[in-house]
Structure 1
Amino acid sequence: MALALKPKAPAITPEEMQRRRKMVRSAFRSNAMEGLRPNPACQPVFDAYIVGEIELDEMMPRVRAILGIK
């Protein structure tokens, strides 16, 4: 018999998710103005931040690790 798994509830409010989403988009736009494009391999890190799985101070070390930046 298969058990249905309940989806994990977000740790943050929908309003906080929207605020984080806007912050990530703003950073993408700022980088684009500098001629930089987001690396698709980093998208799961940004998504984890937006939904509250990680905090801002955890985001950049993960992105640096993906990009091989010390």
Structure 2
Amino acid sequence: MAVAVKRKAPAITLEEMELRRKMVRSAFRSNAIEGLRPNPACQPVFEAFIAGEIELAEMLPRVKAILGTK
């Protein structure tokens, strides 16, 4: 039997989500210029930021925790 999953409405507007998506892409491009690539384990953090589930100030501590570089 299939269970319906109700998705939570985003806490931010679609325009804000697109702005955040552009910010993340820009950071990826900037890092790529330096020869760095995003770690796939950090992807959920970036997605949470884009979706408005966390704020920018919360991203770095979460990424550092995942990478073990506190």
| TM class, shorter-length | over 0.9
User: Is 1:44 matched with 2:44?
Assistant: yes
1:1-70 aligned at under 5 Å gives the runs 4-70=4-70
1:24 partner amino acid: V
The SS at the match of 2:12 is: coil
| Aligned residues between the structures | 70
Structure 1 consecutive aligned stretches of length 4 or more whose deviation exceeds 2 Å? 2-6
Q: Which blocks of at least 5 consecutive residues in structure 2 are unaligned?
A: none
2:65 partner letter: A
Q: How far apart, in 2, do the equivalents of 1:4 and 1:60 lie?
A: 34
- SS of 2:53 mapped into structure 1: coil
Question: Structure 1 residue 7: deviation in Å?
Answer: 1.1
Query: Aligned-residue CA RMSD in angstroms?
Result: 1.4
Query: Partners in 2 of 1:9 and 1:62 — Cα distance?
Result: 23
Task: Write the deviation string for residues 25-45 of structure 1: whole angstroms up to 9, x where unpaired.
Answer: 000000000000000000000
Gap regions ≥5 residues in structure 1: none
Shift of 1:3: 6.5
